[in-house]
Structure 1
Amino acid sequence: MKNMSIFFLVFISILPNSDVFSQRLFVTLGKTIIETETTEPFLWIGDTAWELFNDLTKEEVVSYLDNREEKGFTVIQATIMMGGFNQRNAYGDSIFLNMDPTRPNEKYFEYVDFVVDEAERRGMYMGLLPTWANNVVDRNGRGANFNVENAFNYGKFLSERYKDKPVIWILGGDRNVQTDQEYLIWKAMGKGLQSGVGGKNLISYHPTAPISSHFWFHNEPWLSFNIIQSGHFKKFQTEIYEFGMVFQQLIPIKPWVNAEPAYEDIPVLFWHFDDYSQFGKKKEDVIGEDGLIKDKDFFQHGFFDDYDIRIEAYWTFFSGGAGYTYGNNAIWQMYKPGTRYAVPCLNFWDEALDRPGAEDMRHVKKLFTRFPLGSFHVDQSVIYGTNFLDEDNIRAIVANDKSFILLYLNKGQEVSVNLSKLVGSGTASWYNPREGTIDEIGFVENKGIRLFDPPGEFGQHGNDWILILEAAQM
């Protein structure tokens, strides 16, 4: 059998009259990256659009995807069924007929088809959740949940419908597996996604924070790669690189993606502030007539901003991650004037599209296009001296052929580097992750220890830098 080492595949689809096409994706035993059919590394830079199928019209979808394509996003994560079995889209179409999961509504899925096709036209993949976990894990007494049989059949239906489309399946939905029954239902849905005529799309599982899918499903044959959620509970989420160290020790080795880091503009520990009365406030004291937050100081721990976004993105890739998914508090819930929200917002969804953290994704893509995934590995030994596992931790990657070294300095820390890790002498430069610019430092020899001190003041908010050391081309 040809190419026995490949064990998970996604589709290939070529659009007529278009120069954009989606290539098959796969992962290979022992590799930590996702690859295309031409064995090029796939750079997962995702955006979180959980409520897209609930709330957006076709015109809004086109506007949204245009914006994300222009910024370099490659994956859009959205949930086919965020609500219950009677969920409806912006056009009033329910997902199932008579709330029966064995009777998918063709009108609803024609809209899903439209979104998937529009993403494909822009060379993007859809990371689709078949359902949010509240339809498997009933903790509110709502009933009408999946069981093992209909979960399998629903997964098979989706697999066959999207067998030739740029779709990556993501089970779960912000839930950890707590009972045997939950495990069996997710396992059945995963098998269903594999059993259809297609059955070749990549599949993973999205847990809550700070947790990884490998806790339950690493050895399941349908789990192509692992997902972590680093979450929204603190700044400097060191769990990211700690999970990176764990994944290096798992057998078999599989890629991993940080699919829900802290969202830009969301309050830190937002769930602690659901009850305004506990803080001597009324809702109208905090939320304005337009439905947006007017008293930011009410949220005592502040908000995640673009600096937090960059730290989590670079910590992910500098810890061996195959992908990172950006999120914005208004965009994940597609919050519009006069509609409901799950977490109070600073902006409406369309106003949040160009927030600084989203703009910074351009520079993430620029860096890892120049230094592709798969061409390097994590190597902390390049750092000389103490490097504690705390919020000041410096991350280092080294080219497989030793032609470059990159170090991410999240606080503008000075760093001593063992230059013997370079294959030859060359140049040192500073990469500015806020602007995507490169400033050359000068010549470096590939021997000894050298101290590098980034521009700006150590510890200053937003003063993160990437040190690039490159051997001269022979």
Structure 2
Amino acid sequence: MRRFLLWMLPLAVCFLLPSCNTVMAGARTSKLSQLRVSHNGRFLVKEDGSPFFWLGDTSWAILQKATREDAPNQPSVLRYLEDRAAKRFNVIQCRLVRNAESTNAYGQAAFIQGNFARPQIANGANNDYWDMADWFVSQAEAHGLYLALLPIWANNVPNHDPIVQNPVIAYRYGHFLGNRWRHKSHLIWVMGGDPVRERDVDNPERLRMTRAIAEGIADGANGDTRFDGQADYSTTLMTYHPRGGGRSSSRHLHQEKWLDFNMIQTTTSFEFRNYKTIAVDYAKEPPKPTLDAEVAYENSLSLSRNAPPDKRIQPWHVRKAAYWAVFAGGFGHTYGHRSFIGWVREGEQLGRGADIPWFKSLDAPGAAQMTYLRNLMESQPFLTRVPAQELIADGQAEQPNHIQATRNADGSYVMLYLPTGNAVTIQMEQISGKQVKARWFNPRQGTWQAIGEFAAAGTKRFIPPSHGRDRDWILVLERNGTKIR
């Protein structure tokens, strides 16, 4: 039997008192399906087993800077949620707090005297930081959006902070979160937060803190209060946001029992090869889903020291990052725009070229083109999709011309991403059936163009309708008779 720890008794009592639970989200019932890992360990699925294609957007600072209502320097955050839902995004990545000193747009502090062990709770509705968080959690749900929530931004929490030094504090904070939203099925918990080397989980104290927060969240969600390393993680979905530079959570945490899927941060630059990082994750055992959750922020200046100081990430870079990662084996993808990650308001100018207010960037081309990505991936059987570089007989090249291929396991369809409209020769016998229907998909406009029908034998060279930078195409080959859904 799990041992009950006496030091946890005050925490258990606190969660039973109304003053500790004002406007508890747990009183509501979630309308979004709980997500879980698919049986083959490659994807996420809903409760009924149907596939979930993760199309995320990044708004790290939204809970610190957004407002419920229209304000002089920005409209209500509802405008953002409505727009992202309309564009078929289904996940918003954001941090609950930046650090222990975090406040929101109303000046409300998250914690008493910067102490993670003491969340600032006030009686009544809309009176504290966590009331605003409750409201946002519920509004995201109402718009059909899952939230990938970071309990802390690890890079902004120094090693001397009590939450790092004392795992009890880390557990109690995690328990506070898990309990508060224990009936919300649309929350995905993301540990970490872009940690620099000395604040990453290869530091034993940071690993201990991360494990304690994760256990606290799971125990809070399950109504348990025993901090003994025996939490039931079956009711939660968790991952870890790693350092940038093409690193994955799998580097240190792949075997952690709380880590359901891997998350990669490729970092914003013009030269990236995220298909390689995805492939490394895909080869690990046991299999776990993986995705690139931070790469190539649209309209951003590059984070690379060798990049031109005034050159910005374009929609073409955004599309390359997305299709390379997904076709290499990612179960989804996260988009980002420089205006949203720091939540730029009217009159603000932040680093790396963040000089356009978020509400003036809602219709950035790259964001709209992510809709086409999701539409394409959901047009074919999804849970049996695998990487398929063996299909390429000729035409392969390195970045920026790298061709990435994916197919259904039974060979009923094949898709290849050609980033510069480069010609490619295909091993046609890899496609099942006798005849193959070929079409071009335009990822810039979401449109189709017929090519013709060919025998599923030998090799066949395909030349896209246009060639060059910003002239990417997707070659779709289907067994004759296969229908787009």
2:107 is the counterpart of 1:92? yes
TM-aligned CA distance change 1:426 to 1:388, over 3 Å: closer
SS in structure 2 opposite 1:196? helix
Q: Structure 1: which 5+ runs fail to align?
A: 1-12, 274-297
SS in structure 1 opposite 2:295? coil
Aligned mates of 2:300, 2:142 — CA distance in 1: 31
CA drift of 1:35 comes to: 0.6
**Deviation digits for residues 268-295 of structure 1 (CA, Å, limit 9, x no counterpart):** 126789xxxxxxxxxxxxxxxxxxxxxx
Match of 1:464 among 442, 464, 472: 472
Contact kept, 8 Å, 1:14 with 1:22, in 2: the verdict is no
TM-aligned CA distance change 1:465 to 1:262, over 3 Å: same
Q: State the AA in 2 paired with 1:252.
A: P
SS in structure 1 opposite 2:51? coil
Which residue is equivalent to 1:162? 181
2:116 is the counterpart of 1:101? yes
Which residue is equivalent to 1:110? 131
SS in structure 2 opposite 1:260? strand
2:439 is the counterpart of 1:429? yes
2:476 is the counterpart of 1:452? no
Match of 2:288 among 236, 250, 254: 254
TM-aligned CA distance change 1:213 to 1:467, over 3 Å: same
Aligned mates of 2:27, 2:83 — CA distance in 1: 23
**Deviation digits for residues 190-233 of structure 1 (CA, Å, limit 9, x no counterpart):** 22222223352211110122211011111110001000001113
2:170 is the counterpart of 1:151? yes
Q: State the AA in 2 paired with 1:469.
A: L
Q: State the AA in 1 paired with 2:375.
A: K
Instruction: Kindly report which structure 2 residues correspond to 1:337-416, keeping only aligned pairs within 5 A, or say none.
Output: 337-339=346-348, 341-385=350-394, 387-416=396-425
What is the TM-score with the length of structure 2 in the denominator?
A: 0.83
Contact kept, 8 Å, 2:202 with 2:252, in 1: the verdict is no
**Deviation digits for residues 126-176 of structure 1 (CA, Å, limit 9, x no counterpart):** 0000111134345xx8x5654322111111111111222110011111114
Contact kept, 8 Å, 2:87 with 2:371, in 1: the verdict is yes
CA drift of 1:48 comes to: 0.3
Match of 1:264 among 298, 308, 333: 298
Q: Which moved more, 1:426-435 or 1:180-189?
A: 180-189
Which residue is equivalent to 1:276? none
Which residue is equivalent to 1:325? 334
Q: State the AA in 1 paired with 2:49.
A: T
TM-aligned CA distance change 1:54 to 1:35, over 3 Å: same
TM-aligned CA distance change 1:86 to 1:390, over 3 Å: closer
**Deviation digits for residues 394-450 of structure 1 (CA, Å, limit 9, x no counterpart):** 111111221111111011110011111121213110000000000001112111111
Q: State the AA in 2 paired with 1:159.
A: G
Instruction: Kindly report which structure 2 residues correspond to 1:227-246, keeping only aligned pairs within 5 A, or say none.
Output: 227-235=263-271, 237-238=272-273, 240-246=274-280
TM-aligned CA distance change 1:226 to 1:74, over 3 Å: same
CA drift of 1:336 comes to: 1.4
CA drift of 1:341 comes to: 2.3
**Deviation digits for residues 354-380 of structure 1 (CA, Å, limit 9, x no counterpart):** 111111111011101102431321111
Aligned mates of 1:453, 1:397 — CA distance in 2: 18
CA RMSD, aligned part only?
2.2
Q: State the AA in 2 paired with 1:208.
A: R
**Deviation digits for residues 235-268 of structure 1 (CA, Å, limit 9, x no counterpart):** 3x11x11122212321110001211111001111
2:56 is the counterpart of 1:40? no
Q: Which moved more, 1:193-202 or 1:447-456?
A: 193-202
Aligned mates of 1:29, 1:153 — CA distance in 2: 32
Aligned mates of 1:15, 1:448 — CA distance in 2: 59
CA drift of 1:351 comes to: 0.7
Q: Which moved more, 1:20-29 or 1:374-383?
A: 20-29
CA drift of 1:52 comes to: 0.3
SS in structure 1 opposite 2:267? coil
Q: State the AA in 2 paired with 1:383.
A: I
Aligned mates of 1:330, 1:120 — CA distance in 2: 23
- Identical positions, percent: 32
Aligned mates of 1:179, 1:137 — CA distance in 2: 12
Provide the aligned length of Structure 1 versus Structure 2. 426
Instruction: Kindly report which structure 2 residues correspond to 1:78-227, keeping only aligned pairs within 5 A, or say none.
Output: 78-82=94-98, 84-106=99-121, 107-138=128-159, 143=161, 146-147=164-165, 148-165=167-184, 166-175=186-195, 176-198=200-222, 200-209=235-244, 210-227=246-263
CA drift of 1:189 comes to: 1.2
CA drift of 1:46 comes to: 0.3
SS in structure 2 opposite 1:241? helix
Match of 1:61 among 36, 57, 77: 77
TM-aligned CA distance change 1:66 to 1:271, over 3 Å: farther
TM-aligned CA distance change 1:180 to 1:319, over 3 Å: same
CA drift of 1:382 comes to: 1.0
Which residue is equivalent to 2:91? 75
TM-aligned CA distance change 1:73 to 1:372, over 3 Å: farther
Q: State the AA in 2 paired with 1:26.
A: R
Aligned mates of 1:158, 1:21 — CA distance in 2: 19
TM-aligned CA distance change 1:349 to 1:372, over 3 Å: farther
Aligned mates of 2:156, 2:119 — CA distance in 1: 15
**Deviation digits for residues 316-370 of structure 1 (CA, Å, limit 9, x no counterpart):** 1101001211001111111113346243324111111111111111101110110
Contact kept, 8 Å, 1:135 with 1:146, in 2: the verdict is no
TM-aligned CA distance change 1:272 to 1:315, over 3 Å: closer
Contact kept, 8 Å, 2:262 with 2:289, in 1: the verdict is yes
CA drift of 1:390 comes to: 3.9
CA drift of 1:386 comes to: 5.6
CA drift of 1:86 comes to: 2.3
Q: Which moved more, 1:37-46 or 1:338-347?
A: 338-347
SS in structure 1 opposite 2:52? coil
SS in structure 2 opposite 1:230? strand
